């Protein structure tokens, strides 16, 4: 059986290729793709060849919803017709020279059932599919906000107005805290003002604006970007014994050092999270379905599977403002 797949052939190069799937195994399910979405941070690092474990050529991505069409004889948790979230992960195609970096962007997959989460027994409507497809990245925000144990009226600076940062700001607001988003991109700053206070890191009046919101300092600093200069600048606005969450991807070894002295002087607690678990996933799915996380507000581009390379061109070049990019598969 053949499947169409997005392949990062080498650094900064993307193609659509046809792969040959292996036969279904006893623990496998065959899943036909309905919708996938780009995970901007992870896929950008993979495309640059900097993500840990990246090998070219590879099939990227982890945002994917599909329908189970085949079930291996040992599989008890899924049946044909179930709608599931996830990807084959281990790349069960015959072209072994092509690796899997989670492998979401393909039209059909064969893979271990344990790589999937159950969504429903019937296909949801278009709105639900478009918002739910971003559940995994949104779950990273859920994990981060949970780790900080944020409380009502507390104040949090979130570095980065991408999907992760905006989701974190929505969850902070849901907990009746006060989020502030910080970014360097002018369009992102303007766009994210609908979700929270939003400022440019280069704003000459940034200090006054932050002190007006939190004259006694912020309780939390949540980093989704990984630029030490920005982190160092914003640590100055933290309360004594506040908390810092490092949740970015810190692959640039030469630029990752932050000023630990000022962190030590304020006796800040440093926390980290990496990835998500099943509890995070289903908690986030609840938030999305209850419109606590307003994912539809961050979707900027929709493409058919025939237009995938156009979507990746917009993502890669960044000349056109984009956040949530999704693909409907035929």
To the nearest whole percent, how much of the chain has pLDDT over 70?
100
Average pLDDT along the chain? 96
Predicted local distance difference test score (pLDDT) of residue 252:
73
Predicted local distance difference test score (pLDDT) of residue 310:
97
Q: Look up the pTM and report it.
A: 0.96
Token pair in block for residue 166: 């905006």
Measured distance CA(231)–CA(225) in Å, rounded: 9
Please state which of the four CATH numbers 3.90.180.10, 3.60.150.10, 3.30.1340.10, 3.30.230.10 is assigned to the domain occupying 2-123+294-328: 3.90.180.10
Measured distance CA(194)–CA(145) in Å, rounded: 20
Architecture of domain 137-272: 3-Layer(aba) Sandwich (3.40)
Helix (H, G, I), strand (E, B) or coil at 180: strand
Helix axes 40-47, 308-317, angle to 10 degrees: 80
Predicted local distance difference test score (pLDDT) of residue 101:
96
Domain boundaries, the chain: 2-123+294-328, 137-272
Predicted local distance difference test score (pLDDT) of residue 256:
76
Regions in the chain scoring below 50 on pLDDT: none
């Amino acid at each position: 059986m053949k499947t169409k797949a997005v392949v990062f052939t080498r650094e900064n190069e993307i193609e659509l290729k046809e792969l040959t799937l292996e036969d279904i195994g006893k623990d496998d399910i065959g899943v036909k793709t309905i919708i996938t979405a780009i995970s901007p941070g992870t896929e950008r690092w993979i495309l640059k060849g900097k993500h840990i474990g990246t090998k070219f050529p590879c099939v990227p991505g982890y945002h994917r919803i599909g329908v189970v069409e085949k079930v291996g004889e040992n599989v008890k948790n899924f049946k044909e017709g179930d709608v599931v979230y996830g990807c084959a992960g281990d790349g069960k195609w015959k072209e072994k020279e092509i690796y899997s970096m989670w492998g979401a962007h393909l039209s059909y997959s064969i893979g271990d059932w344990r790589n999937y989460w159950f969504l429903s027994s019937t296909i949801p409507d278009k709105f639900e599919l478009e918002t739910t497809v971003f559940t995994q990245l949104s779950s990273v925000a859920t994990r981060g906000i949970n780790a900080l144990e944020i409380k009502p009226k507390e104040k949090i600076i979130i570095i980065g107005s991408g999907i992760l940062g905006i989701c974190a700001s929505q969850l902070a607001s849901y907990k009746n805290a006060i989020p502030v988003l910080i970014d360097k991109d002018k369009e992102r700053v303007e766009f994210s003002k609908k979700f929270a206070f939003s400022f440019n890191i280069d704003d000459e009046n940034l200090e006054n604006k932050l002190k007006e919101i939190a004259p006694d300092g912020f309780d939390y600093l949540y980093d989704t970007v990984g630029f030490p200069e920005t982190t160092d600048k914003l640590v100055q606005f933290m309360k004594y014994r506040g908390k810092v969450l490092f949740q970015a991807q810190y692959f640039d070894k030469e630029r990752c050092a932050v000023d630990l002295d000022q962190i030590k002087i304020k006796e800040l607690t440093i926390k980290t999270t990496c990835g998500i678990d099943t509890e995070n996933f289903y908690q986030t799915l609840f938030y999305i379905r209850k419109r606590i996380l307003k994912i539809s507000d961050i979707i900027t581009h929709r493409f058919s599977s025939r237009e995938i390379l156009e979507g990746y061109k917009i993502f890669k070049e960044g000349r056109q403002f984009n956040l949530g990019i999704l693909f409907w598969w035929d």
